[in-house]
Amino acid sequence: MNVLSFKGIDIVAVAACVPRNVVDNAAFAKNLYPDEIQLQKIIETIGVTERRVSPPSVCTSDLCFAAADKLLEETGTDRSEIDALIFVSQTPDYRLPATAVVLQYRLGLSKQVVAFDVNLGCSGYVYGLSVAFSFANNQSVRKVLLLVGDTPTKFVSAGDLSASLLFGDCGTATLIEKTNSDKSTYFNLFSDGSGYKSLIINGGGYRNPSSPSSFESITDENGNSRNSEQLYMNGGEIFNFTLREIVKSANQLIASCGTEMGCVDQFVFHQANKFMIDFLCKKMKINPEKFLVSIENYGNTSAASIPLTLVVNRNENAYNQVLMSGFGVGLSWGNCFVKLNRTHILNLIEL
Amino acid sequence: MKKQEFCSELSDCLEIENLKESSNLELTSLGVLSVIALVDENFDKQLVISELKAVKSVSALMALIGDENFSD
């Protein structure tokens, strides 16, 4: 697909909600890594000092609900004006029905709302925005509520030597509206299913249904133990994919907007891990001050990482021309070049 | 890039002292990421991950990168 472009549609507000529970990685992984120096090296490389972990009773939808409720209240939005609700996540409440429909009721939105789920991870915010903008582009749609979040700590094995230190939970809400401003927003989106095994939860779906054996932990040659209903991640393959596709696709988008990287004020990329973020920043020759991060205190929050990064850096930055890039599970990736100079970014919410 | 220079860069990035062409090498998962970055930066090349993980020596890694990519 070529570039999707929209005019006169704005991101009006962004909110993010994290669980109150802070997990300190050095304390968490003491038993996993008997060698303290090795543990310190891992923590430095992935760049996650602490993360937010939800208790069993809190789902992604609860974090998104809290973010959306506060956003609608703080922006004084009339709930009856929301015409579409999109929930992007890999951790829905139920296998069915769609969480978006449950949230329509819970948020007190009209029955006229179009509500549906999108199953995407690290690329999910950019994809979700493109869907929200497409709805908002229609004359009969007034406002679109995009809820993006994940609670990956629920599907990662505590015996996974690197993934168990990497992920954090977060739910976000973004309000998109037709404003008829002169702002243009651009997207490019990609998929490569040949890499679907690089990040996968193999069991518990309909291809490999839950069974007693799907909950049996197996230890691999590197000492990681996990069962087939927990996340498997091939870090090397994901890194290779990122280097191969992300820089190229981001450059393509910026070129097709008729601008150049020097005109981008802030870069907000998926917070995969610190090593990867730093390397992308260096490879793209970006001033690190413009390359925003949230990984140190919140970890990799999957689909929520881009809006969470906007929220936690709000006080230090006057957002303007922002390049977002989401990439990962699928494999799926996409970029968005958008102007956020009038976007209201709420303070971080804790639940 | 000369082979000796590569060995020195590899030593730095893996934090293993005095790696030589003849040295044994077994990559940890962090080591795999470091080598991917090193090879991307210096050779603009991507290695097949399963082959990279199977490497047992520096010379085997250099063979994956390809002799034609070294200037000596």
> Using one digit for the tens of pLDDT, what is the confidence trace for A130-158?
999 999 999 999 999 999 999 999 999 99
Decide if B48 contacts B61 (C-beta within 8 A): no
Residues 46-65, chain B: which have Cβ within 8 Å of A? 46-47, 49, 52-53
Task: Count the residues in chain B.
Answer: 72
Question: With an 8 Å Cβ cutoff, are A235 and B33 in contact?
Answer: yes
CA dihedral B32, B39, B50, B57 (to 10 degrees): -80
Q: What share of chain B is helix, strand, coil (3-state, %, to 5)?
A: 60, 5, 40
Decide if A14 contacts A345 (C-beta within 8 A): yes
Give the separation between CA A340 and CA A320, rounded to whole angstroms.
5
Query: In chain B, whose CA is at the least distance from the CA of A161?
Result: B29
pLDDT tens across B47-64, in order? 999 999 999 999 999 999
Residues of B in contact with A244 (CB under 8 A): 46
Substitution target in A199, A238, A241, A279 with the highest count of B β-carbons within 10 Å is A279
pLDDT of residue A60: 98
All residues at 6 or more sequence positions from A28 whose CB lies less than 8 Å from its CB, including other chains: A164, A165
C-alpha distances in angstroms, A120 versus A165, A201, B54?
A: 22, 13, 32
Q: How does strand A225-226 pair with strand A218-219?
A: antiparallel
Residue A1 has pLDDT above 80, yes or no: no
pLDDT of residue A222: 83
Q: Which of A7-11, A62-66, A101-105, B22-26 bottoms out in mean pLDDT, i.e. has the lowest?
A: B22-26
Cis peptide before A331 (omega within 30 of 0): yes
All residues at 6 or more sequence positions from B26 whose CB lies less than 8 Å from its CB, including other chains: B55, B56
> In the predicted model, what is the mean pLDDT of chain A?
96
Assign B24 to helix, strand or coil.
Answer: strand
Decide if A304 contacts A171 (C-beta within 8 A): yes
Ramachandran angles phi, psi of A109, nearest 5°: -90, 165
Give the separation between CA A202 and CA A328, rounded to whole angstroms.
16
Question: With an 8 Å Cβ cutoff, are A41 and B30 in contact?
Answer: yes
Angle between helices B29-43 and A274-283 (to 10 degrees): 0
pLDDT of residue A25: 95
Q: State both tokens at A127.
A: 């994809």
Banded model confidence at residue B11, pLDDT cuts 50, 70, 90: very high
Residue A222 burial (C-beta neighbours within 10 Å; 0-12, 13-18, 19+): exposed
Decide if A147 contacts A68 (C-beta within 8 A): yes
Q: What percent of chain A has pLDDT over 70?
A: 100
Question: With an 8 Å Cβ cutoff, are B33 and A234 in contact?
Answer: no
Q: Which of A70-74, A192-196, B15-19 bottoms out in mean pLDDT, i.e. has the lowest?
A: B15-19
Question: With an 8 Å Cβ cutoff, are B29 and A279 in contact?
Answer: no
pLDDT tens across A6-25, in order? 999 999 999 999 999 999 99
pLDDT tens across A270-319, in order? 999 999 999 999 999 999 999 999 999 999 999 999 999 999 999 888 99
Question: With an 8 Å Cβ cutoff, are B37 and A275 in contact?
Answer: yes
pLDDT of residue B29: 83
Give the separation between CA A103 and CA A107, rounded to whole angstroms.
6
Question: With an 8 Å Cβ cutoff, are B46 and A234 in contact?
Answer: no
> In the predicted model, what is the mean pLDDT of chain B?
90
Banded model confidence at residue A162, pLDDT cuts 50, 70, 90: confident
Residue A304 burial (C-beta neighbours within 10 Å; 0-12, 13-18, 19+): buried
Residues of A in contact with B52 (CB under 8 A): 236
pLDDT of residue A295: 97
pLDDT tens across A164-221, in order? 999 999 999 999 999 989 999 999 999 999 999 999 999 999 999 999 999 999 998 8
Residues of A in contact with B33 (CB under 8 A): 45, 235-236, 239, 275-276
Residues of B in contact with A235 (CB under 8 A): 29, 32-33
Shortest alpha-carbon distance between residue A195 and chain B (Å): 12
Query: For the residues B24-41, what does the mean pLDDT come to?
Result: 90
The more confident residue out of A221 and A74 is: A74
Assign B57 to helix, strand or coil.
Answer: strand
The verdict on ipTM greater than 0.90 is no
- Using the Cβ of B44 and the Cβ atoms of chain A, whether some distance falls under 8 Å is answered with no
Give the separation between CA A150 and CA A328, rounded to whole angstroms.
14
Decide if A283 contacts A247 (C-beta within 8 A): yes
Residues of B in contact with A243 (CB under 8 A): 36, 40, 46
